[in-house]
Amino acid sequence: MFSRIARPALFLSRSFSTSAQKDAKVAVLGASGGIGQPLSLLLKNSPLVSQLSLYDIAHTPGVAADLSHIETRAHVTGYIGPEQLGDALKGCEVVVIPAGVPRKPGMTRDDLFNTNATIVANLSDACARHCPEAMICIISNPVNSTIPITSEVFKKHGVYNPNRIFGVTTLDIVRANTFVADLKGLDPARVNVPVVGGHAGKTIIPLISQCTPKVEFPQDALEALTNRIQEAGTEVVKAKAGAGSATLSMAYAGARFVFSLLDAMNGKEGVVECSFVRSEETESPYFSTPLLLGKNGIEKNLGLGKLSPFEEKLVGEAMSELKGSIKKGEEFAKKVN
Ligand SMILES: NC(=O)c1ccc[n+]([C@@H]2O[C@H](COP(=O)([O-])OP(=O)(O)OC[C@H]3O[C@@H](n4cnc5c(N)ncnc54)[C@H](O)[C@@H]3O)[C@@H](O)[C@H]2O)c1
């Protein structure tokens, strides 16, 4: 048994949670799902969270009762069904949304659009009504379309702040760090690969030339590595053989992003994460680049930095797909609510 005096250091050691303890209410929408449950567990395990609000259309009373027995400070409450959604959101500083259907083998993220676009539009509408100032972190795919949908919904309510709406692409960075570390025999916790663009296939653009520590690969190995990072989600979908997409690694990545956000909101300086956001860095109106986070969300977009010719070509090739997915999201949002 763990001793209550000498509890093991929180196992989330990478860059997690070093700011002073403050109160923060965090909601997870889709909390009973494959991502939602382990993500809620990681959030419950953090001293940065004082209230954890778990919402889903199924099973949240059980998930909340289970998590509420864990000996950490976050007070857990479960909410079920649309009539309880407003209560789940009131007073939230951060809302994380992994609600929606995941891919099955042979599906692209865009194949999820019809189902998930409606779910994200409805949940965003509730956020705009009940916690318009909250940081909104969207995990639901296709992220390249769901962020424009959320942004349009917030605009309709007159509460849009582009510095507070984030498409969670952290899993692409986590994967890139792991794969580079494996190939180079490095400690993955000390590798940092920025990943820019979007979150689907060739719109996922790892900037290996900007990796810290510096790493070099022959062109064929670089192309194979880039392709593996772009298709890593599909690797998991195939291995799960119909049982869904990445859930555990996504929960880790989602928790990493939320903890970075909370650290920055609590005043920690120098917190940087990549995320798919409203952007003027390229011709695409939404684009992921490294962002300096602060008390009010995005403090500064750090931009693309210096790209290699190979990376420049990848950015160029991603543009038409990115712009198409963004437009599809914006047009959908015009028709709903
Ligand atoms: N951003 C990323 O890197 C990334 C990675 C993996 C998966 N995803 C996406 O995350 C989403 C969730 O994946 P999962 O594996 O957890 O799926 P899942 O099916 O296991 O869980 C989804 C949950 O959402 C709930 N839900 C459905 N409609 C809802 C609504 N209207 N309101 C609230 N909750 C609702 C379901 O009841 C379920 O509990 C999918 O869209 C998937 O594609 C994103």
If you search the block for the tokens 């590798």, which residue do you land on?
Answer: 191
Phi, psi of 225 (to 5 degrees): -65, -45
Query: 170-325: which CATH number, 3.30.70.330, 3.40.718.10, 3.90.110.10, 3.40.50.150?
Result: 3.90.110.10
What local confidence, expressed as pLDDT, does residue 4 receive?
41
What local confidence, expressed as pLDDT, does residue 241 receive?
95
Whether 129 has a binding-site annotation, put simply, is no
Q: Which atom of ligand 1 is nearest to the CA of 103?
A: 43
**Rounded CA separation 238/102 (Å):** 12
Ranges of residues in the chain whose predicted pLDDT is under 70: 1-21, 337
**Rounded CA separation 280/260 (Å):** 23
Q: Which two tokens stand for residue 325?
A: 């997915």
Q: Which two tokens stand for residue 251?
A: 């929960």
Shortest CA distance to 153 belongs to which of 329, 28, 283, 276? 329
| CA contacts within 13 A on the Cβ side of 152 | 24
Whether 175 has a binding-site annotation, put simply, is yes
Whether 4 has a binding-site annotation, put simply, is no
| Residue 267 Cα to ligand 1 middle (Å) | 31
The pTM of this model reads 0.95
Tell me if the bond preceding 213 is cis, omega within 30° of 0. yes
Ligand 1: residues whose CB is within 6 Å? Answer: 29-30, 32-36, 56-58, 98-103, 112, 116, 119, 122-123, 139-141, 143, 168, 171, 199, 244-247, 250
Shortest CA distance to 274 belongs to which of 292, 289, 295? 289
CATH topology of domain 22-169: Rossmann fold (3.40.50)
What local confidence, expressed as pLDDT, does residue 336 receive?
85
| Residue 207 Cα to ligand 1 middle (Å) | 28
What local confidence, expressed as pLDDT, does residue 337 receive?
62
Q: Which atom of ligand 1 is nearest to the CA of 122?
A: 31
What local confidence, expressed as pLDDT, does residue 267 receive?
97
What local confidence, expressed as pLDDT, does residue 16 receive?
54
**Rounded CA separation 225/246 (Å):** 19
Q: Which atom of ligand 1 is nearest to the CA of 253?
A: 3
- The strand pair at 286-294 and 297-301 is best described as antiparallel
CATH 3.90.110.10 residue ranges for the chain: 170-325
| Residue 226 Cα to ligand 1 middle (Å) | 26
What is the 3-class SS of 149-191, one letter each residue? HHHHHHHHCCCCCHHHEEECCHHHHHHHHHHHHHHHCCCHHHC
Residues with active-site annotation: 199
Residue nearest to ligand 1 atom 15, measured at CA: 34
The residues, any chain, with a CB within 8 Å of residue 305's CB and separated by 6 or more, are 194, 207, 210, 290
Residue nearest to ligand 1 atom 43, measured at CA: 102
CATH 3.40.50.720 residue ranges for the chain: 22-169
- The per-residue pLDDT of the chain, averaged, comes to 94
DSSP state of 33: S
What local confidence, expressed as pLDDT, does residue 3 receive?
37
| Residue 43 Cα to ligand 1 middle (Å) | 17
